[in-house]
Amino acid sequence: MITIALYNLKGGVGKTTSAVNLAYLASEAKRSTVLWDWDPQGAASWYLGVDELNKKAIKLMSRGMPVGKLEVASPFPNLTVVPADLSLRKADMALAGVDQARKLIQKMVSPLSESTSILVFDCPPTISPSIEFVLSSVDLVLVPLIPSPLSLRAMTQVSEFFESRKRAPKRIYGFFNMVDSRRKLHQQTLEGAKYFPVPVMNTVIPMDSAAELMAQKRAPLTSYARRGRAAIAYRAMWKEIGQILTS
């Protein structure tokens, strides 16, 4: 089972939309895919048409209940969702530290490996024991970045945090999202990507009005705007992810 986490300390960078679209592309390739929504706002669950929230998500998680019992079917073949709810804001208290979080999450995820090909985590923009363990245990952490000086700062903060910890992500890559190639600042930031503290993916996700319709359509843009610029870029990104994971 391949595990991927979408994460950034900064909100509003397209983290959830990217998680949803990548999970959809995995399922479209006939890979059994689970999107685990860790963000208390539950936006990823909403985008995928899931109304059935785990209203006691953190209570169930604190018992180490297998993820399979929390999954909800989405309208898309091969794609299920572990929905979030506001109780996840209490994850730190319920899981009581990194060691406890590690044991419980391992217990929850272990049974998935028999039936799931891809597990995608949509992580909230915060650092907590549970999120720290998720990020340090997945095969790949993807950090979406809007082209601006704050992107470098956010990427540096994430990199420095994990450098100070015993457990660091196996692979961590940044990628530029919501890029407007007409803007000089965006051009300059992309050109300076070689100075970032971690590798940056070659694929760039452009600004696309189709992304604004995701909340209205409650579907990945890669499903309804297949020929759009962002959809084409996400497909290229999914191929690049495959290359990263096999390198």
Mean pLDDT confidence for 105-132: 84
pLDDT at 69 over 80: no
Mean pLDDT confidence for 112-135: 87
pLDDT at 86: 59
Q: What is the pLDDT of residues 125-139, one digit of tens each?
A: 988 777 888 898 899
- Domain edges within the chain: 2-246
Residue with the larger pLDDT of the pair 217 and 193: 217
- List all residues 6 or more positions away from 167 whose beta carbon is below 8 Å from its beta carbon: 132, 133, 136, 137
- What is the homologous superfamily of the domain 2-246 according to CATH? P-loop containing nucleotide triphosphate hydrolases (3.40.50.300)
pLDDT at 94 over 60: no
Q: Give the integer Cα–Cα distance in Å for 30 and 38.
A: 24
Mean pLDDT confidence for 145-174: 85
Question: In angstroms, what CA-CA distances link 185 with 99, 147, 182, 206?
Answer: 42, 7, 9, 14
25-34, 82-91, 151-160, 193-202, range with the lowest pLDDT: 82-91
Mean pLDDT confidence for 187-210: 91
